[in-house]
Amino acid sequence: MRQLLDPAGELLGDAPVGLDETRRLYAAMVEARVYDRKCTALQKQGRLATYAPFEGQEAAQVGAAAALRPDDWVVATYRDAALMWMHGYTWEALVLGRTGDERGGSPPEGINILPPSITVGAHMLHAVGLAWGERVLGTDRVALTSFGDGATSEGDFHEAMNFAAVFSTATVFLCQNNHYAISLARATQTRAETIADKSVAYGMPGEQVDGNDLFAVLTATMTAVASARNGAGPTLIEAVTYRLGPHTTSDDPGRYRPAEEVEQWRERDPLERVRLYLASQDRWDEEWQRELDRTASERIERAVNIAEGLDPLPASDPFDRMFATASPLLAEQRDEAR
Amino acid sequence: MAYEFRLPDIGEGLTEAEVVRWLVEVGSAVDLDQPLVEVETDKAVVEIPAPRQGVVLHHGAPVGAVLEVGAVLAVIGEPGETWGEGGGDKPSTEVPAETEEVVPATKVVAPIVGSISEEAEVLGAIASVEPARPQALPLVRKLARELGVDLAAVAGSGPGGRVTRDDVVSASEPDGAEGDGGDERVRLSRLRRTIAERMTRSWREIPHVTTFDQVDAGRLLAARRALAERHQRLLPIEALVAKAVIPVLASFPEFNATLEGDELILHHRFDLGFAVDTPDGLVVARCQDADKLGLMDLAGEVSRLAEGAKARTLRTDELTGQTFSISNIGAVGGGYGTPIIPYGTTAILSVGRAQDHPVVRDGAVVVAPMIPLSLSYDHRVIDGGLGRRFMAQLIENLEEPALFLAG
Amino acid sequence: MPMLTLAQAITDALDCALKEDERVILLGEDVGRTGGVFRVTDGLIERYGSERVVDTPVAESGIVGTAFGMAVAGLRPVAEIQFMGFSYPGFDQVISHVSRIRNRSRHRFSAPLVIRIPYGGGIGAAEHHSESAEAIYVHTPGLKVVVPATPHDAKGLLLAAIEDPDPVIFLEPIRLYRAVKEDVPDGHYTVPIGPARMERTGTDLTLVGWGAMLQEVRLAADQLARDGVLVEVIDLRTLAPLDADVLVTSAEKTGRVVVVHEAPRTAGIGAEVAALVQERALYSLQAPVQRVTGWDTVFPLKRTEHVYLPDVERIVTAARRTLEG
């Protein structure tokens, strides 16, 4: 398993980026965590629909996004807000989606991110088709798809991996192995020793990395993206990480995993080791941290205000977004719903 | 102003939660998103954070109590403020400017709670002793309503005792119409009913005007005899009339047309209908593109259609879609008539039997075979003057067959 | 104008689309080298190459999901599923993603793809090869569902489907592939998705059908005409969205409606037709709407498939029921 930054903040190899970029990515992880905790609070106050927290997986998501070009495609899941935000989705759109509003599924023009997939697994194929489509259209855009360890048991994982390899599409498969598919532990999900091993069956490269190590994820993704962009086809990356929170706000993880296990993973916090590394390089101090915490809170509060401040969609909206043009019978239903 | 924080549904369809532990006491300050209370739902124990900063003024329930979703969980206000349920300051769930609490402007789907009422069971029992409804189509029910007929009082004559339209009509008529004098009631045949419906529709919707005239058929009949000698068969008179009428229709397209709403569709095809008297009733058979057929072919087609109609072997498309019709009532000895325009067309020509009449020609009285003509047309689209001109040109053609037989 | 079979008309449409629009790409199992199991894509790989006529691995979800991604990226993919009975592994992609992306992204993304599916029975095929599951697709909001019954419509509807900004399920009646021939115009033309086709007008009774059932419906109409019953025949040809106007106008005119389909009866499109007619034309009805359909059974194999398929006799019997009383 590739590791470049150990939990003590010790650099074990070459840093893929300089200190300024490392500070930028650290700040992003801080902001993502503020967003994540805020959403959990909002949900418990009845202001969001169910929320799926990603705390503990910030390095996997921020590190992977940092390896992409702004016009690349991202096809991710309901637990990938940090990845999507890093690639250009706005916090307000992400909050809006979780309040139960379709406007959250519509990223800004020019940002190539599909709305987060709620079903497990099917979306991986979309990244195959998107990369293939871009190739036909003559671009060198790459499509990165993110999914969990549970999704690798879905048939669509197999079909997507196989199609990507057979047709050599510029697809990067990023598995965030966070050890649980709701309650099912990684060990009972597959008998394969690693998820990265599965790449062998499809004839594509695969690598397991420490998913809580920003540098390891970033390096692996940069390699995969470069390979895809150069026409060498897809790669599977297994980022080994841990979901510190529940599956969603409706879940009680105490039913299926011991508290000690969570505590052990807390000690491998993906933010802490970057902080220690930056501190060792004299590029972190408490004042900067306070500043980061404050600006992150402000930005997230602003996003929440924007999302909650929008007027509800009119009753006609669901009908007007089904087709380019609503059929006469659908238009009748629209009038009936008013 | 005090803010009432109501217990949200935090677990996808939960209806209640039990208070496990209060984390902030009444009178204490609380921060935004600071854990306020621990509740237990059907799914998990959950820490609920405060939705705003302030002082906790009230706990909605003590530890161990169960609250329904939507009940007041806690009240948060300013230091020194008081709150009393249903009194004092009117509590607010409105949006304070700085935090923008969302208040749904549209109706929200309510959770389904409760059980099936006893009332529903009682109503069900009552419904089950209601007498059976009379059997009748909605169409018939509507008619019965319009005519003030009580369906339950009508004995149905249809299959399975079903009340038919005729039953309702009969029931609406004054007493005595039924069963006196030994009258026989005959059920109309399927074809006869169809004819009745179509005739009614045409008569109801089309303002008919009929114009009458007669034509000296001397030359026409002479030509017909000559053709019969040459071809060893007597041509149906309809074929000759059709040949004479086609150029007239071309000159007066309103007669070869269909009125649809505010539009008159002028047909460029001449699909002539020929009324055929069959044992079951009158049928109008259609001859497609009659103008494209030579006289002999047209004559053959008219004969074939007449036979087909009588044998009921014609296809549907041979019985519909005519653009103008000719009815030879002379074949059954008729003279003048007031033909009813087939629905979907604007005119029909009825041709009577030729009879010798004295006529004045070049100052002298001579005997000539005269054929009576009756032309009905739709007065909505054809005025009397136009009707006359149509008739005049038709007569001109019929009196001088060379004019159209050559064409 | 060449005389083409329905299969040839579809090939012609695909040829047209590939020639005129570089964004069009065909993909499916065996669509390239062998020209498809029904030879509908015959010769296209030779003309357009294996980058545009793509033989895929055997994976229906893969085909549909990949085509979806291509469509979102800006291509106009035409995916082929070999038989309707094999479309179910790809159905999750259809209902969970293809049909929804415009809705969930509020027009930011759309999936203009066509999924061609040979469908229906009558050729004595193996199990899973004779299904008529159109109702499943029609019941999925966000899809258009089209079934041609003539070569002319097959070409025009397919070209319209490829140009359509939304996903279209294009169902091809297997039984008609080579059974009907007609003049089909050269080059590009479209038949609009939505309007039904009035095949024949009449005043006494409306017969509604689509796809392979149109053949049986025509024969039944002929038989009824010989008894003086003037039958109106409607070929729905687009099942989603339905052409309610044509159905209702006809029901108002004739007062009698018989709807015919090969799919199982319960919750089939016939039920939808009957519901629309009763909602909008009840007081014109002279008789209850009748359904002549396949049974609520698994489609029988060759030796008993005649028991399942609606035929002229069943249609005429139902028609006569509406004409009684």
How confident is the model over B16-42, as pLDDT tens digits? 889 999 999 999 999 999 999 999 887
Name chain C contacts of A158, Cβ cutoff 8 Å: 59
Q: Which of B168-177, B296-305, C128-137 has the lowest mean pLDDT?
A: B168-177
CB contact under 8 Å between A312 and B105, yes or no, is: yes
Question: In this model, does residue B109 exceed pLDDT 80?
Answer: no
Q: Which of A38, A249, A315 sits opposite B10 (nearest CB)?
A: A249
Reported as a pLDDT band with limits 50, 70 and 90, residue B234 is confident
Phi, psi of C239 (to 5 degrees): -95, -25
Q: Locate the DSSP E strands across chain A.
A: 73-75, 143-148, 171-177, 180-181, 184-185, 206-210, 235-240
What's the whole-number mean pLDDT along residues B253-282? 90
Question: Does the pLDDT of residue B88 top 60, yes or no?
Answer: no
In this prediction, the answer to ipTM > 0.85 reads yes
Which residues from B are below 8 Å from A when comparing CB atoms?
A: 5-12, 33, 43-51, 99-102, 104-106
- The predicted model gives B95-120 an average pLDDT of 50
At A124, the pLDDT band (50, 70, 90 cuts) reads very high
Name which of A41-45, B181-185, C119-123 the model is least confident about. B181-185
- Cβ-based contacts of A144 with chain C (< 8 Å): none
The predicted structure's pLDDT at residue B127: 54
pLDDT at B118 over 70: no
Instruction: Give the pLDDT of residue B95.
Output: 38
In the predicted model, is pLDDT for residue C271 greater than 60?
A: yes
Q: Which of A33, A34, A44, A317 to mutate to test the interface with B (most CBs of B within 10 A)?
A: A44
- What mean pLDDT value characterizes chain A? 96
Angle at C86 between CA C84 and CA C90, to 5 degrees: 100
- Give me the pLDDT at residue A326, please: 96
Helix (H, G, I), strand (E, B) or coil at C240: strand
Q: Within an 8 Å CB–CB cutoff, is residue C230 touching chain B? A: yes
- B208 catalytic per annotation: no
A249 at B interface, C-beta within 8 A: yes
- Is B200 an interface residue toward C (CB < 8 Å)? no
The answer to whether the CB atoms of A44 and B12 lie below 8 A apart is: no
Q: What is the pLDDT of residues B355-397, one digit of tens each?
A: 888 888 888 888 899 999 999 999 999 999 999 999 999 999 9
Cβ contact B159–C325 (<8 Å): yes
Q: Which residues of B are less than 8 Å from C222 in CB distance? A: 315-316
CB contacts, 8 Å: B142 with chain C = 283
Judged against a pLDDT cut of 90, whether residue B160 lies above it is answered with no
Q: Cis omega (within 30 of 0) on the bond before A7?
A: no
A292 band by pLDDT with thresholds 50, 70 and 90: very high
Asked if the model's pLDDT at residue B105 lies above 50, the reply is: no
Label residue B12 by pLDDT band (50, 70, 90): confident
Report chain C residues whose CB lies below 8 A from the CB of A328: 241, 244-245
- On whether the CB atoms of residues B168 and B149 are closer than 8 A, the answer is yes
Determine the Cα–Cα distance for residues B153 and B131; give it in Å rounded to an integer: 13
Stretch C23-32: mean pLDDT: 97
β-bridge pairing A143-148 and A171-177: parallel
d(CA A338, CA A187) in angstroms, rounded, equals: 51
- B176-180, B215-219, C96-100, C128-132, range with the lowest pLDDT: B176-180
* Nearest residue of chain B to residue C218 (CA atoms): B316
Q: B98 pLDDT band (50/70/90 cuts)? A: very low
Are B360 and B340 within 8 A, CB to CB? Answer: no
pLDDT number for residue B161: 82
Whether residue C287 lies within 8 A of chain B, CB to CB, comes out as: yes
Residue A35 host element (H or E) = helix A19-44
Residue A46 to residue B8, Cβ atoms within 8 A: yes
Chain B: closest CA distance from residue A310 (Å): 9
Q: What pLDDT does residue A283 have?
A: 97
Q: How far apart are CA A127 and CA A164, in angstroms?
A: 9
Q: Which helix (H) or strand (E) holds A130?
A: helix A123-136
C285 and B138 in contact by Cβ < 8 A? yes
Residues 6+ apart with CB under 8 A from A302: A92
Q: Which two tokens stand for residue A219?
A: 């390096």
Q: Scanning every residue of chain A, which has its alpha carbon at the shortest distance from the alpha carbon of C276?
A: A329
Quote the pLDDT of residue B132. 62
Tens of pLDDT, residue by residue over A66-114, are 999 999 999 999 999 999 999 999 999 999 999 999 999 999 999 999 9
What subunits touch chain C, counting only 3 or more CB pairs under 8 A?
A, B
Which residues of chain B does A338 touch, with a Cβ-Cβ cutoff of 8 Å?
none
* Share in percent of chain B as helix, strand, coil (round to 5): 30, 25, 40
Q: Tell me which residues of A are annotated as active site.
A: 243, 247, 256
Window A:124-183, CB contacts with C under 8 Å: 124-134, 136-137, 143, 155-156, 158-160, 162-163, 166-167
**Mean pLDDT, range B124-150, rounded to an integer:** 76
| C134, C270 contact by CB (below 8 A) | no
- Residues of chain B contacting residue A99, judged by C-beta atoms under 8 Å apart: 102
Residues A247-282: tens digit of each pLDDT:
998 888 999 999 999 999 999 999 999 999 999 999
| Average pLDDT for chain B | 83
Dist. CA C240–CA C237, nearest whole Å: 9
Average pLDDT over residues C28-48: 96
Is C102 within 8 Å of A163 when comparing Cβ atoms? no
Hey, which chains touch B, using 3+ CB pairs under 8 Å?
A: A, C
Rounded to an integer, the average pLDDT of B277-293 is: 87
C89–A155 CB contact, under 8 Å: yes
What digits encode the pLDDT tens for the residues A145-178?
999 999 999 999 999 999 999 999 999 999 999 9
Q: Is the pLDDT of residue C163 over 60?
A: yes
Q: Which range in A187-201, B153-167, B275-289 is most confidently predicted, on average pLDDT?
A: A187-201
Residue A246: its pLDDT value, please? 93
pLDDT at B106 over 80: no
Query: B293-305 burial, b if ≥16 CB within 10 A, otherwise e?
Result: bebeebbbbbeeb
Predicted confidence (pLDDT) per residue in B47-64, tens digit: 899 999 999 999 999 999
C140-153 tens-digit pLDDT: 999 999 999 999 99
Position B314 confidence tier, pLDDT thresholds 50, 70, 90: confident
Q: What pTM was computed for the model?
A: 0.75
From A9-23, A314-328, B193-207, B282-296, the region with the lowest mean pLDDT: B193-207
Q: Average pLDDT for residues A109-130, to the nearest whole number? A: 96
Judge: B11–A308 Cβ closer than 8 Å, yes or no.
no
CB contact under 8 A, A163 and C56: yes
pLDDT in tens, A182-231: 999 999 999 999 999 999 999 999 999 999 999 999 999 999 999 999 99
Main-chain phi, psi angles of A108, to 5 degrees? -55, 150
Residues above pLDDT 90, as percent of chain B: 40
Q: Are A46 and B101 in contact (CB < 8 Å)?
A: no
* Chain B residues within 8 A of A309 when measuring between CB atoms: 100, 102
Question: Does residue B261 have a pLDDT over 90?
Answer: no
Whether residues C62 and A159 touch (CB distance < 8 A) is answered with yes
Kindly report which listed range (A28-32, B82-86, B303-307) carries the lowest average pLDDT score.
B82-86
Kindly identify which residue of chain A lies nearest to residue B95, measuring between CA atoms: A309
Q: Provide the pLDDT for residue B126.
A: 54
CA distance C134 to C169: 9
Q: Quote the pLDDT of residue B91.
A: 43
Q: What is the DSSP string of C72-105?
A: HHT-EEEEE-S-GGG-HHHHHHIIIIITTHHHHT
Q: Which residue has the tokens 């980022």?
A: A239
Q: What is the distance in angstroms between the CA of the first residue and the CA of the last residue of chain B? A: 99
